[in-house]
Amino acid sequence: MRIALEEAHLAFHEDEVPVGAVIVGPEGNLLARAHNRTRSDCDPTAHAEVIAIRRAARALGYQRLVGCTLYSTLEPCFLCAGALIHARLARVVFGARDPKFGGVVSLGRLLDADGLNHRVLHEEGLGAEQAGRLLRDFFRSKR
């Protein structure tokens, strides 16, 4: 989560919503790191989690991230939760909840939906205080 928080700080300094993500392989090796780039790339899907998934898949040479874990500073939205399922990640660990867009526990529970052909385990709270503070500082600066 430390590296994901570093990525979130990079996003903050690039005037992006400060969210960072990393993906580690089954052995704990770092496969990818990323931060939000929606404004920089003019791409509404350039969320930290999606970018990290793309980079990790490229690093492995395969679209499935079986046995991998994604760490995100913020609860994944529905788009990102769907990407986690499609990529077949084993687990997601996130810091702060997202009451406006969260698709894992806040607004919905996509990862727990009946009928899915893959389950992504989820844990919350790791780094939540630091991630929440960074998000509050960012949005306070916009008001």
Active site members: 49
Give the whole-angstrom CA distance, residue 44 versus residue 91: 24
Give the whole-angstrom CA distance, residue 17 versus residue 19: 6
Torsion of CA 26, 92, 55, 24, to 10 degrees: -30
Give the whole-angstrom CA distance, residue 20 versus residue 86: 20
| Residue 113, strand partner residues | none
Query: CB of 84 within 8 A of CB of 53?
Result: yes
Query: CB of 72 within 8 A of CB of 48?
Result: yes
